[in-house]
Amino acid sequence: MSKYVKELVTRDIRRRLDGVEDAVLVNCVGMDANTTNELRGELHKKDIHLLVVKNSLARRAAEGTHLAAAFEGAGGQIGVCWGASDFVSLVKELVELDKDKDKYDAFAACGGVMDGEKLDSDGLKAVSKWPSRAEQISILVGQILAPGADLSAAMLGPGKKLNSQIKQISEGDE
């Protein structure tokens, strides 16, 4: 590949990865075209983008960005995945696909970058066990509403007891 073509491809990769701060690197070498197309369709439904590139070109395109750490030490052809509603959801989906060897036997989540720090495959598995953004919001809302619910229960409890006692007294007088 000529230097001019490499520069064009690098510029295109840089444009596609512009604004991406967290990504997962996957290995999909050895998958046939139909399986790869099926994988891309499945990822597209979940708003996950997959870009398969030569590692040296991706490394050159990611210089000076948060993604630069992800390409250190990687070789050959690599897939870069980004998107989904949040990074944890992205990792969960890709780790699940990695576990499903019946459908995508050559697919493997091999690393990534989160907040500028490189993650290996074990780090990805650890991140996949974290709560997703939606789960974190529900936990936070539960924690915010819990004191109010406790206060409401504390205030209503004695009132209900008093109400039942008054009702019993009024039924007894009849």
Question: What is the distance of C-alpha 19 from the center of its chain?
Answer: 16
pTM of the model: 0.72
Average pLDDT of adjacent 10-residue blocks, the chain of 174 residues = 87 88 88 88 91 88 85 82 88 87 83 87 88 86 85 77 82 67
pLDDT attached to residue 63 = 87
pLDDT attached to residue 44 = 92
How many residues appear in the chain? 174
The CATH class, in words, for 3-130 is alpha beta
- The domain ranges of the chain are 3-130, 132-174
pLDDT attached to residue 115 = 84
